[in-house]
Amino acid sequence: MEDKKTGNEWKKHTIALLVENQPGVLARIAGLFSAKGYNILSLSVGETVDPEVSRMTIVTEGHPLIIEQIVKQLRKLIDVIKVLDLTASGEDYVERELVLVKVSARGEARAEAMRIAQIFRGSIVDVSPETFTIEFTGDEGKINAAISVLKECGIREIIRTGKVAALRGPKSLKIS
């Protein structure tokens, strides 16, 4: 989607945050997005090496000015230690997502699901007489491609994690 006034395109941004590992932090951050009418496309949260600090990876979408406002608003929250818009940072980063896809696995669909899992380096993590559950890990493009191909087998359920991302090389998002 493009803003007709400025010509700037809306795009997805991956934002990494370090936050205090306290009850209510996630609710306050989600509340900020909700109150401003911003959408969270994906959210992943986990404890860091320091058990008092959690790392969040939020994927959102918007015009560059909206993303800038989101980052500024996040920085104002008391429990937020550090914010980095990885997409706008100019730094190289690696991102991954995990998905579990439950597919029908009867007859020819069974062999096809196994073949697709192998092609996309997925792992079959559960088997029943009627279904396979396949785990895929990778970037959004790989995940979407695997799901697209598996549609022919008959997808019963898709469970996706939020995206996680880290700066490449020796740089880290850490408390200064």
Could you say which residues of the chain have pLDDT below 50?
1-6
Contact 91, 170 (CB under 8 A): no
Structure tokens at 70: 């989101």
Mind giving me the DSSP string for 113-136?
HHHHHHHTT-EEEEE-SSEEEEEE
Summarised one tens digit per residue, pLDDT across range 53-64 is 999 999 999 988
Structure tokens at 77: 């929250």
For the whole model, what pTM was predicted? Answer: 0.85
Pairing of strands 164-167, 131-138: unpaired
Kindly list the structural domains of the chain, giving each domain's residue range(s) and its CATH number in brackets, ordered by start.
Answer: 11-85 (3.30.70.260), 94-164 (3.30.70.1150)
